[in-house]
Amino acid sequence: MSIHPLAAVSPHALVGNNVRIGPFSVVEPGVEIGEGTTLASRVVVRTGTSLGRDNIVCEGAVLGGMPQHLHMPEFPGRLAIGDGNVIRENVTVHRAMEADKVTRIGSGCLLMVGAHVAHDCTLGNNVILTNNTMLGGHVSVSDRAFVSGGVAVHQFCRIGRLAMVGGLARIRQDVPPFVTVDGGSTMVVGLNRVGLRRAGFTPQQLAELKEAYRVIYRSGLPWEEMLDSLEEKFTSGPAAEFLTFFLGGHARGYVQERRTPPGATVRIVRDEQESAEQDSTLVEAEKMAG
């Protein structure tokens, strides 16, 4: 254990082996810090917070702060953080509102500079929140979701597994698993193909996800019929998670698809021979101009 002499660590905190705490950091009573965790300088870990093993918490982060609420609870809940997370500079994570509730962050997550996680949020494993992401209270972000910079997520919204949310999006409804949300329009623009490929999904699984996506966004079915179709066609595998996600939702609804507006220019894909001929012509023209 290495605690800088300018750090203030309560004797009533539980600090594991091989923990490193930098100067001007504050660890309050009742905190639990798992072995191998590093707190850089100026980190504040408030009462009611527990960190697992091998976490890295960078300068200026505040973990376990009181909820930002007009009616401040007399007995707030806790903050529980798993193992192997990287929490970058000036991140803020708040405790739950009620004594028996928990704000929870899983393991292997990356919270980049200035991200904010409000009270009663739940983050799964391997979640990435990029710079200045803001999660309102009671937000749920599932495993391996990627939330880009400057995204604001309204309270009580859910972001599904392996979803990707583009920068500066304003999330006011649930984001289904496996999809990509465009930051400019805050609408779904297809499956998160890059994330799915990196996660090792098989061609068969990708084909089923694509088919399920069409049922949800392209079939035009009413809500109940769409759910019935998902239940009938996708009984196992990742595609079955769509139904589970929708059944676990609430009245806020889910993010809709961005469709090509009427009258928009249709993109024509050139065939390989035509493309090669045009590229060759362009090269010759550039040589002559040079």
Instruction: Give the relative orientation of helices 203-217 and 223-233 as an angle to the nearest 10 degrees.
Output: 160
Span 112-162, pLDDT tens digits: 999 999 999 999 999 999 999 999 999 999 999 999 999 999 999 999 999
pLDDT attached to residue 289: 41
Summarize the confidence of residues 82-105 as an average pLDDT.
98
Q: Cα 215 from chain centroid?
A: 25
Catalytic-labelled residue, pool 119, 136, 166, 174: 119
Q: Could you tell me the CA-to-CA distances from 33 to 16, 30, 143, 172 in Å, in that order?
A: 6, 10, 23, 35
Tell whether pTM > 0.95. no
Contact 48, 36 (CB under 8 A): no
Report residue 255 as tokens: 């993010």
Catalytic-labelled residue, pool 137, 160, 166, 195: 137
pLDDT attached to residue 276: 52
Beta bridge partners of 92: 62, 116
2-138 belongs to which CATH class?
A: mainly beta
253's CB contacts (< 8 A; 6+ apart) are 173, 174
Of the two residues 202 and 281, the one the predictor is more confident about is 202
Give yes or no: 228 in active site. Answer: no
Catalytic-labelled residue, pool 65, 82, 120, 136: 120
Contacts of 148-152 spanning 24+ positions with Cβ under 8 A: 148/183, 149/112, 151/183
d(CA 166, CA 145): 11
Q: In the chain, what are the domain boundaries? A: 2-138
Phi/psi at 70 (5° precision)? -60, -35
Share of the chain above pLDDT 90, in %: 87
54's CB contacts (< 8 A; 6+ apart) are 34, 35, 36, 37, 83, 84
